Amino acid sequence: MASVKLTTSDDKEYTLDRELIFQSNLIKNMVTDLDVFDAPIPLPNVTSSTLDIVIKYLKIHKDDPPPPDKPIEKAVDDMIDEDKELMKLEFNIMADVILAANYLDIPGLLDIGCRTVAWHIKQCKDYHEIREKFNIPKELWRSEEEIAEMKKELNGILG
Amino acid sequence: MNHKCYRHQKQDQENNKELTLKNQLARESKDDQILISAIWDNYSKLSWSKRSLALNGILHYSCFPQLSYLSDSLIELTKVDFITILPSEICYKILNYLDATSLCHVSQVCKSWKEMGDSDVIWKRMCSQHIDKKCSKCGWGLPLMSTMKRKEIPCESSMPDPKRQKTCSPSKPSESTKCIQIEPLQHIPPVPVKIETKPWKQIYAERSVVARNWRKPKCSTRKLLGHVDGVMGLYFDQARGLLISASFDHTLRAWDINTGICVGILKGHTKCVRGVQFDESKIISCSMDKTIRIWHPKTFECVRTIEGHTAGVVSIHYIDKILASGAKDGIIRVWDLAKGCSFSLVGQVLLNYRHQDWVNKVKILPGKKELLSCSDDNNMILWDIDSKTPIRTFSGHVGPVQTFALMQPQHGLNAHIRRVVTGSLDNTIKIWDFHTGKLISTLFGHTEGVWGIDADAIRIVSGSQDQTVKIWDIETGQCTYTFTPKNGSVTSILLSDTKLITGDESGAVIVRDFLHTQ
């Protein structure tokens, strides 16, 4: 089976099965359009530790049927257990994985990454918890008017 | 190290961390300062791959207290503010998975989160999931913005084509069913409608208030007084805030819904006015005096009287320039106001397939190909307008069918079935399958005849001789609330996105507002 060579930002070289890495639309298009086989493809935005996680994902999903054109509306935590396990990451690594999925154009991985972040936001009972969870410093940016308007809006939506 | 990671890119903007570090360093002795800054300098000069080795060494020479210190600091340092560091299209993807509650929390976090969390992209989607249907994720829906707002502007040219006018032949058997030539409608410039735009989040918030108030239900009530006899017809335009009521006292009244002030009295009919409808360019009413009148939309003067029916006209409905009218003698006429001709829907008389009694309501269906009518003969009929023949009869009521309303296609188990709901003087409300004519369910609750019905995607409202107004859940068919105004029988009813408007026997029009409840 033909393989593809990749180099990560920290200069590690990977040799991967075509079938596996072709889940990345970026690599697939590069290889098929440019017909590069032997020269390793540089990935300046992806570190090896991130690529390791991406490869884990690719292995889990290598036999998946092609995704439907129209995304199906699913609940935020409607993921298979393997994906949930895979996404048990520190936030900085998760951000790297999401960015890598975006860069490599792997829609499925991007989707579960976004779902997981959304799930973490959803677990927070209020904005204090969100700030705590994502290490966002307090900001004194609201005027009295803004606070009043925001309260009104919140009352409208939350009841 | 030329490659900056997003952690340091972000810190560059703030620069606070580095300043604190420098301040701390300044407090140390000269020798220590040199040592420490040498370690930092050397470390930052290393490439990423070599840094790991350097760290391994530091870890190796650290004792437990330092390791604990490290592990405590790491918890904070590896937290990532996703919304700030990720590109906005990915942020939108994340936020699209959130519900309204979480999105509200998001906009309280900080400025950049608020910008994201309030964006139209997100809230438009929230609105499209919830408005006019029940959301498949959270199971509740919000009422539609404005069901009565007419978006299309009436045709520009209403001048008749004289050749075409002649194609309408006046040689029909009986007086009441023959074709009648009328003078084509002159063009009246439409009243401009102000279209406001507001953020989708605000729309969602408003809809939420309305939805909650409907469930309670909580509303403000305004009584519009002026008619001296029962109110038989109502029509409302949310965009203009204009309500017109038709009454037994031979007049129509135009009301400003926001102030409750009567802005015009339309006098001219010589008997009870039964029906009214208007758009930006015309007001049309029908009366038991056998005429249909067209009024100016601004001055409220009568600009035309259409004669042709040989019995009182009970009901009208129009789309653009096609007008349908139903009369006391069971005849339904369809008028082309642009061409200036009309014909009647007689059905196949041999099969006895036409209304035998008062036609209480007519409605041209979107597409102008079909027409629904209901009658004192206990039936509702669906007509094909072009062939002038009935397609289907809905029979099952044991009393006169006073009114009907089309139920909007929506969510739920039987969402694909187009349904129509009828109210009858047999005290019941019936829901029918529009495509088969089969009865789906019967709603019991009113103790006397049902005069008025209206429906949207979420609820049915009904007004009855028993002096009550009932709200019904469209899915379960349960009565969720009963208003008992005790103002005489409720003779007409209208449902808009935020308002429930009823007209009663005493001549009062009651406006219940579910948005502005104070």
pLDDT on residue B175 = 45
According to DSSP, residue B174 is labeled S
Q: Which residues of B touch A134 (CB under 8 A)?
A: 79-83
Residue where the block lists tokens 């009828």: B422
What gap in Å lies between CA A24 and CA A31, rounded to an integer? 11
| Cβ pair B104:A139 closer than 8 A | no
pLDDT-derived band at B186, boundaries 50, 70, 90: low
Question: How far off is chain B from A48, nearest CA to CA, in Å?
Answer: 10
What gap in Å lies between CA B504 and CA B221, rounded to an integer? 14
Residue where the block lists tokens 């309500």: B243
The most confident of A70-79, B11-20, B384-393, by mean pLDDT = B384-393
| Cβ pair B86:A139 closer than 8 A | no
> Which range among A1-10, A67-76, B173-182, B364-373 shows the weakest confidence by mean pLDDT?
B173-182
| Cβ pair A157:B101 closer than 8 A | yes
Q: Would you list the domain boundaries of chain B?
A: 6-82, 83-118
| Cβ pair B97:A115 closer than 8 A | yes
Q: What stretches of chain A adopt beta strand conformation (E)?
A: 3-8, 13-17, 41-43
Question: How far off is chain A from B215, nearest CA to CA, in Å?
Answer: 12
What gap in Å lies between CA B269 and CA B263, rounded to an integer? 18
Question: How far off is chain A from B46, nearest CA to CA, in Å?
Answer: 12
| Cβ pair A110:B90 closer than 8 A | yes
Question: How far off is chain A from B419, nearest CA to CA, in Å?
Answer: 27
pLDDT in tens, B47-96: 877 888 999 999 999 999 999 999 888 887 778 888 888 888 899 888 88
Cβ-based burial of B67 (10 A; exposed 0-12, middle 13-18, buried ≥19): exposed
Specify the length of chain A in residues: 159
The most confident of B121-135, B337-351, B413-427, by mean pLDDT = B413-427
How many Cα atoms are found within 13 Å in the side-chain-facing hemisphere of B190? Answer: 17
Percent of all residues in chain B with a pLDDT value above 70, rounded to a whole number: 81
Question: How far off is chain B from A42, nearest CA to CA, in Å?
Answer: 15
> Which range among B42-46, B148-152, B359-363 shows the weakest confidence by mean pLDDT?
B148-152
Q: What's the whole-number average pLDDT of chain B? A: 81
Question: How far off is chain A from B425, nearest CA to CA, in Å?
Answer: 39
Q: What are phi and psi of B469, to 5 degrees?
A: -120, 125
According to DSSP, residue B134 is labeled B
Q: Which residues of A touch B87 (CB under 8 A)?
A: 102
| Cβ pair A130:B109 closer than 8 A | yes
pLDDT-derived band at B403, boundaries 50, 70, 90: very high
Say yes or no: B105 contacts chain A, CB-CB below 8 A: yes
Residue where the block lists tokens 């405590």: B72
Which of B 6-25 lie inside 8 A of A, CB atoms?
A: 6-7
Say yes or no: B139 contacts chain A, CB-CB below 8 A: no
Q: Which residues of A touch B3 (CB under 8 A)?
A: 9, 44
Structural domains of chain A, ranges and CATH numbers in brackets: 48-123 (3.30.710.10)
- pLDDT at residue B489 is higher than 80: yes
Beta bridge partners of B433: B419
CA angle B21, B24, B30 (to 5 degrees): 115
What gap in Å lies between CA B381 and CA B326, rounded to an integer? 12
Q: Are B185 and B282 in contact (CB under 8 A)?
A: yes
| Cβ pair A114:B7 closer than 8 A | no
Nearest to A131 among B76, B109, B206 (CB): B109
Residue of B nearest to A48 (CA): B49
Say yes or no: B82 contacts chain A, CB-CB below 8 A: yes
Q: Which residues of B touch A159 (CB under 8 A)?
A: 208, 212
* Cα-Cα end-to-end distance for chain A: 60
Task: Find all residues with CB under 8 Å of B297, minimum gap 6, and list them.
Answer: B188, B190, B191, B278, B279, B280, B281, B282, B283
pLDDT on residue B127 = 81
| Cβ pair B107:A150 closer than 8 A | yes
Instruction: Mutate one of B13, B96, B109, B215 to test the A interface: name it (highest A CB count within 10 A).
Output: B109
Task: Find all residues with CB under 8 Å of B175, minimum gap 6, and list them.
Answer: B310
Question: How far off is chain A from B201, nearest CA to CA, in Å?
Answer: 9
Task: Tell whether omega for the bond before B217 is within 30 degrees of 0, i.e. cis.
Answer: yes
Question: How far off is chain B from A159, nearest CA to CA, in Å?
Answer: 7
Q: Which residues of A touch B48 (CB under 8 A)?
A: 9-10, 47
Q: Are B181 and B340 in contact (CB under 8 A)?
A: yes
* Three-state SS at B463: strand
More confident residue, B238 or B143: B238
| Cβ pair B110:A136 closer than 8 A | yes
3-state helix, strand, coil in chain B (%, to 5): 25, 30, 45
pLDDT string in tens for chain A (159-residue length): 578 888 988 888 999 888 888 899 998 888 888 766 678 888 988 988 899 999 999 999 888 877 666 565 667 777 888 888 888 888 889 999 999 999 999 988 999 999 999 999 999 888 888 888 888 877 666 677 777 777 777 777 776
Residue of B nearest to A126 (CA): B105
Strands A3-8 and A41-43: parallel
More confident residue, B201 or B187: B201
Amino acid at B306: I
According to DSSP, residue A63 is labeled T
* Three-state SS at B421: strand
Q: What stretches of B11-118 adopt beta strand conformation (E)?
A: none
Q: What are phi and psi of B73, to 5 degrees?
A: -65, -35
pLDDT on residue B161 = 36
Question: What ipTM was estimated for this complex?
Answer: 0.89
pLDDT on residue B356 = 82
Which of B 118-137 lie inside 8 A of A, CB atoms?
A: 136-137
| B46: its two tokens | 């290393």
Beta bridge partners of B404: B422
